[in-house]
Amino acid sequence: MTKWGRAGTVLLLALLAIPLAGQESSTKKGKTDKRQSVPSVNAEDSKPVPATTDPGYLIGPQDELNISVWKEPEVTRTVPVRPDGKISLPLINDVQAAGLTPLQLSKAITEKLTKYFTDPQVTVIVTAINSRRIFILGEVGRPGAYPLLPDMTVLQALSGAGGFSQFANLKGIYVLCNESGKQVKYPFNYKEVIKGFRPEQNIVLKPGDTVVVP
């Protein structure tokens, strides 16, 4: 082999050895460099639990329920709770639902279905909460019915009503509540409550309450 041929071979081998050396160095570093991995966050874990999965939730009129009977598709269906608080199902006709939890209603349906099926497995899921609503009327951007969230106050309810109109009397807001069959009026001075004064006026709302912004 000529002098230039030998030199070319040596140069080629040297070039091939560079990436191999770098790979070995990186591998050794990976073995000795201990890094703490950031735990992954599951998006499902960060979501709030829907009110429909609350085992203590009391079913009300106009709620929507999914009644599932295992291996009995003719009885499985989604039904609304009527204004009288009852639902209608095949074979067992009317069943009282309002005032019961999903588990209590499941047990009541199970007892009635034992006449027709052996060991029926009944599951009740509240798919739509329509009974727990409040109403915001008057000089707001979006008057109407709103879902009642747990422990919702007057101030929180107004925050989702689209703001006030230029004619709104913020000192004369009031809440109409039905207590023991009688309508009771509670004053709410927005300008004072928003500043931290008169916190007793920022009451927790109940289903059917009406907030009026004159």
Over pLDDT 70: what percentage of the chain?
A: 75
The residue ranges of DSSP E strands in 70-148, in sequence order, are: 77-80, 86-89, 93-96, 122-128, 133-138, 144-147
Q: What is the pLDDT of residues 1-18, one digit of tens each?
A: 554 455 455 444 544 444
pLDDT, position 214: 97
Q: If phi over 0 gives left and psi between -120 and 50 gives alpha, with beta otherwise, what is residue 20?
A: alpha
Q: What is the pLDDT of residues 116-141, one digit of tens each?
A: 999 999 999 999 888 889 999 999 99
Cα–Cα distances in Å, from 177 out to 143, 196, 209?
Answer: 17, 23, 5
Write down all domains in the chain, each with its CATH number in brackets: 51-128 (3.30.1950.10), 133-213 (3.10.560.10)
In whole angstroms, what is the distance from residue 102 CA to residue 123 CA?
8
Average the pLDDT over each of 44-53, 103-112, 168-177 and give the range with the smallest value. 44-53
Check: pTM over 0.75? Answer yes or no: no
